[in-house]
A and B are shown apart, each in its own frame.
Chain A
Amino acid sequence: MSTNESILEVTDLRTSFFTEGGEVKAVDGVTFDVPAGKTLGIVGESGSGKSITAMSILQLISHPGKIKGGEIKFRGKNLLDLTEKEMRKIRGNQISMIFQEPMTSLNPTYTVGQQIRESYKIHQGLGKKEGSKRAIEMLKLVGIPSPEKRLDQYPFELSGGMRQRVMIAMALACKPDLLIADEPTTALDVTIQAQILELIKELQDELGMSVVMITHDLGVVAETCDYVAVMYCGKVVEYADVRTLFKNPRHPYTVGLLKSLPRSDRDQEELTPIKGTVPSPDEMPVGCRFAPRCPFATDLCHEKLPSLDDVGDGEQIRCWIYTDEWNGDPGVKVYEPERTTES
């Protein structure tokens, strides 16, 4: 898929929730690679399965959810073959996660110092003194002023931006090889977001980590990612390097997202929304999941689900247009660059 060696290869991952209303296929055949040392972005609208994909990688899915199948190869080893005990050694150590809402993963009854020390104790067997020393180093690393004082503070005593920094410090405490960041800045103001994203990027360079950046913000993707997987209804519909995705998007859904986006960097006459809404789990189309909203859909699209296929240059697309079976307009132009008035 890519020329770099991959640190993570997810293949045909499927995770469902078995609810009273039936099976909800939250992640329905997700495939992507994370090249070592790079950042992969996962984008998609609310409910497309981004968080469940991340939770599946760390096997944090609980009842009524279940990982049904697929492969999650981390450094060549399938994580789904590991026992819970073996997984525990990987979590927070080789693979770490930052969650959208820091309060859900920081324990409100322990001080910042206690929480970071705990991580050193579990994974590296460090005592209180050595743990504190390392914790101070971490807090300094993420740009927290007077880290010695912060060690004794509780999460509620910190501002939102500070808490997010503490989260990052905790996630990076054991110098993971892979960091999964699920909407790490969505709850923050843009000026704080800019700080946090830059911080993650700098730490990635210093520590040589690979990153999976989950977001619904295409601006964040463009600024932080090397590769991008676009998700729709539990499936990856386009996988490409970041320049290709923005300069030459090929999947009709990706193009629809870009055309819906109001831009802060230039004037636009009109937005072109994607028509309709995301289908609910109980009325999922049988063919291409995007067919009811796609301006190019043919009868083939409505009847048969396209597969995620290589289209060259390490890019993958899930759309009939790019296959020999395409029965619509042979000269169809999915994307035409807008003529814009740059500011």
Chain B
Amino acid sequence: MSQKELLKVKNLKQYFPIKGGILGRTVNNVKAVDDISFTVHEGETVSVVGESGCGKSTTGRAILRLDNPTDGTVEFDGINLLDLNKKEMRKMRKDMQIIFQDPYASLNPRQTVRETLREAMAIQGVVPKEERADRIAELLETVGLQPYHADRYPHEFSGGQRQRIGIARALSVDPKLIVCDEAVSALDVSIQAQVLNLLKKFQKEMNLTYLFISHDLGVVRHISDRVIVMYLGKIVEVGDKKSIFENPQHPYTKALLSAIPVPDPDHDKDRIFLQGDVPSPIDPPTGCRFHTRCPFATERCKEETPELRSTGYMAEGHQGACHYMELIESGEHQPTRETSKVRQLSEEPERV
């Protein structure tokens, strides 16, 4: 890993308009990603974690400009992608690839693997025509497929094999950054381990940079250098893997980690049960967005939005967005809600 900042995201916002009325005017917005900033260094794996709907995929898509971000900047290799026109952006895509959760949906069912890979290389024009056949054979071998697989169609493969094709396609253009959006989530563990090992191997060999989106914290602990925790469109905590897993500071990160079932019957469960469900991003809670579920919430949390910040005892680069990190750590600020029972749901208004 180098110190070079390959990707620099600043104040990124992605709102999706909700149209309503007979005039189809924008009546409201889904604030899917709401003012987030972070940096990814070359050769590093940064994971984005959080519950369904918190804005992980939207972040990945906004960076690749698959959607048009509402506001902010996305600097890649020193260039602000949001300033580029379509043609310039197409050129940049060679350096930025994405692997999706469902490889089946992202592969053309009427194209053989060879055609898929050839097309990817042709669009980007990175590999000279006469070298493409060799390159395809090489790619298939790298991802653990056989040469005869080149002439098969997506439906003729298992889920794990299709995910390898997705990886081969991403690698075919020699990218710098790969956004992996739940790339191993649909796979059985034995196959998932194969694919994770492959991703790690390629990273080492080709100095690849990964933005790894996942809700599986076991996978994240295994693959990441740094971790970003999101809640309702905001980053609530960021830090190196060790800090996040061993010294989480934000109450949401703590609850999230405590909720993961551990494959060890002797594991000590000190579980924090959060109340209720995640609120809607259309009209997110005021102040700290976590206050409707946070075990430590106070009146202040309803009004004041906490910014990402560090405290004296946190490792370098480790930041959390909570007013009370120090006081929770020292024990001076105690829970304001029950967290050990599952059947004392508070009567909070449902937001749909």
Contacts and interface: CB of A to CB of B under 8 A. Distances in A.
Interface of A: 45-46, 141-146, 157, 159-162, 189-195, 197-199, 202, 216-224, 242-243, 246-247, 256-265, 267-268, 270-275, 277-278, 343
Contacts of A190: 51, 215, 217, 256, 259-261
B196 A194 contact: no
16 contacts: A45-B188, A143-B343, A190-B259, A191-B256, A192-B277, A193-B259, A195-B273, A195-B342, A256-B190, A261-B193, A261-B218, A262-B221, A263-B263, A271-B193, A272-B193, A343-B246
A139 to B, nearest CB: 11
Nearest to B255: A191
Given A45-B188, A46-B188, A191-B51, A219 B196 contact: no
A222 B190 contact: no
A275 B197 CA distance: 12
A199 B342 CA distance: 7
B273 A197 contact: no
Nearest to B247: A343
Nearest to A215: B261
Interface-centre pick from B259, B265, B350 (highest chain A CB count, 10 A): B265
A145 to B, nearest CB: 5
B284 interface: no
B219 A223 contact: no
B222 A268 contact: yes
B52 interface: yes
A142 B259 CA distance: 19
B312 to A, nearest CB: 23
A141 to B, nearest CB: 8
8 cross-chain pairs, A with B, having the tightest CB-CB distances, nearest first: A219-B261, A273-B193, A274-B190, A262-B222, A260-B193, A143-B343, A194-B259, A45-B188
Contacts of B191: 273, 277
A159 B158 contact: no
Given A191-B259, A222-B263, A271-B197, A146 B347 contact: yes
Contact of B221 (A144, A145, A264, A272): A264
A45 B197 CA distance: 19
A258 B64 CA distance: 36
B277 A263 contact: no
B352 interface: yes
A64 to B, nearest CB: 21
A259 B223 CA distance: 16
A260 B190 contact: yes
B245 to A, nearest CB: 7
Contact of A222 (B258, B267, B352): B267
B271 interface: yes
A243 B266 CA distance: 8
Contacts of A246: 263-265
A5 B131 CA distance: 69
B273 A216 contact: no
Contacts of A159: 277, 350
A272 to B, nearest CB: 7
Contacts of B271: 194, 198
Nearest to B252: A191
Contacts of A262: 192-193, 196, 216, 218-219, 221-223
Contact of A143 (B189, B192, B197, B345): B345
B188 A273 contact: no
B189 A257 contact: yes
Contacts of A273: 190-194, 197
A267 B189 contact: no
A219 B259 contact: no
Given A190-B260, A246-B265, A259-B193, 5 more contacts: A143-B345, A195-B342, A198-B342, A263-B221, A271-B197
B160 interface: yes
A257 B188 CA distance: 9
Given A191-B256, A222-B262, A277-B158, A264 B342 contact: no
Contacts of A260: 189-190, 192-193
B30 interface: no
Nearest to B160: A277
Nearest to B346: A145
Interface in B162-192: 188-192
A228 to B, nearest CB: 10
A164 B220 CA distance: 27
B269 interface: yes
Nearest to A185: B261
Nearest to B194: A273
B202 to A, nearest CB: 15
Contacts of B203: none
Given A264-B218, A273-B193, A223 B51 contact: no
A273 B188 CA distance: 11
A270 B261 contact: no
A310 B257 CA distance: 38
A221 B222 contact: no
A242 B263 contact: no
A143 B277 CA distance: 13
Contacts of A268: 222
B62 interface: no
Contacts of B215: 189-190
A259 B344 CA distance: 38
Interface-centre pick from A189, A222, A343 (highest chain B CB count, 10 A): A189
Nearest to B348: A145
B117 interface: no
B139 to A, nearest CB: 20
B343 A199 contact: yes
B267 A265 contact: yes
B222 to A, nearest CB: 4
B274 interface: yes
B190 A257 contact: yes
Given A192-B277, A199-B342, A223-B269, A265 B347 contact: no
Contacts of A343: 245-246
Contacts of B45: none
Contacts of A271: 193, 196-197, 222
Given A45-B188, A162-B277, A222 B265 contact: yes
Nearest to B293: A191
A267 to B, nearest CB: 7
